[in-house]
Amino acid sequence: MKRLFSLLLFAALLCGYAAAETAAGRVESAATVLNEIMATPDKGIPEEILGSAKCIAVVPSLLKGGFVVGGSHGRGVATCRTENGWSAPAPFTMTGGSIGFQIGGQAVDLVMTVMNDRGMQALLSSKFKLGADASAAAGPVGRHAEGSTDWKMRAEVLTYSRARGLFAGVTVNGSSITQDESATRELYGRMVDFKTILTGAVPAPTAGEPFVSAVRKAAGNTSNASTTPQKQVPVNPAPTSAAPAPTPVSTPIPAPAQPAPGSDGSTSASPSPSPTAPPQS
């Protein structure tokens, strides 16, 4: 009976916390979590993982706790790479349970990176379970991950958690992820399914830009982003305006010779010489 009461009390606290949060506030919180984690790269997510990730999801303040029987619940946002960069954010809820000795509760920030197409397709289905529909494993931590682990082959989803200043990989197998329909309506003004959002079919709303910008900064926006073809510019481009025509050089033309003036001041033609008379015999 005590177990059931503890579980119901924990569920009530989770529901109260979820109801007090707005969709825009969740987007801001998710962006803050990612920015703070990437501000300490030596203890954060390796560059190779972020550069290869198909999708990135963040759950700020995932609540975990209970007495013997435990549970977890959180609300987050996800975005996936598309041909035009990162998609608009898609709100989701994450719930899970655990059996074992535990007491108390805590809130952790959770980051999930979807590493291949199979994991991406599971996320696009808008409802799947980690460990069943997509394998999940604790991700490596540090600036670089190449050569240190087989993370490229062993899991569709790599997961990380941050609690009380500590950041490390964490296993969340058994947790279910479903689309948060109420937050989707709040963020987009209507119901838009997971696949439509995450494939880039709708633009990001103004309230969703902080998270998309944080992901773009952390993971880069060049791997699958389309680029506008650039116009070929010749090495020696033609002048934009016509060059001024050269000034023609005029050659002086000699004036025709004028006849000498006569004694009376008039001009007359020179008399032609008279023929010589033949000698008389």
Number of Cα atoms under 13 Å in the Cβ half of residue 128? 19
Instruction: Let me know if residue 225 belongs to a domain.
Output: no
Q: What pLDDT sits at residue 44?
A: 83
45 belongs to a structural domain: yes
Query: Which residue, among 121, 131, 44, 69, has the nearest Cα to 94 in the 3D structure?
Result: 131
83 located within any domain:
yes
Per-residue pLDDT of the chain (281 residues; tens, 9 = 90+): 444 434 444 444 444 444 457 999 999 999 999 999 888 877 788 888 998 899 999 999 888 765 445 567 899 999 999 999 999 999 999 988 554 444 556 788 999 999 999 899 988 987 888 878 888 888 888 776 654 455 555 688 998 988 877 888 777 778 899 999 999 999 999 999 999 999 999 999 999 999 999 999 998 754 443 333 334 434 344 554 555 555 555 555 555 555 555 545 444 444 445 455 555 54
Parent domain of 113:
2-219
pLDDT given for residue 107 in this prediction: 82
143 within some domain: yes
CA terminus-to-terminus distance, the chain: 179
Q: State residue 97's pLDDT score.
A: 59
What lies within 8 Å, CB to CB, of 218 at 6+ separation is 34, 35, 38, 45, 50, 56
Domain presence at residue 233 = no
Contact between residue 114 and residue 88 where contact means Cβ atoms under 8 Å apart? no
For the chain, strand residue ranges (E) read 55-82, 85-86, 90-114, 127-129, 136-138, 157-163, 166-169, 176-179
Q: What's the confidence (pLDDT) of residue 13?
A: 45
Measured in whole angstroms, the distance separating CA 41 from the mean position of its chain's CA atoms is 20
How far apart CA 62 and CA 197 sit, in angstroms, is 23
DSSP string covering 239-277: PSSPPPPPPPPPPPPPPPPPPPB-TTS-B-PPPPPPPPP
- The structural domain count of the chain equals 1
CA-closest candidate to residue 128, choices 174, 181, 160, 167:
174
Beta bridge partners of 106: 64
| pTM recorded for the entire structure | 0.69
Question: In this structure, is residue 266 part of a structural domain?
Answer: no
How many angstroms separate the Cα of 31 from the Cα of each of 48, 222, 278?
A: 20, 20, 131
Q: Is 5 exposed, middle or buried (0-12, 13-18, 19+ CB in 10 A)?
A: exposed
Q: Is residue 264 one of the residues assigned to a domain?
A: no
Tokens of 10: 């924990």
19 is a domain residue: yes
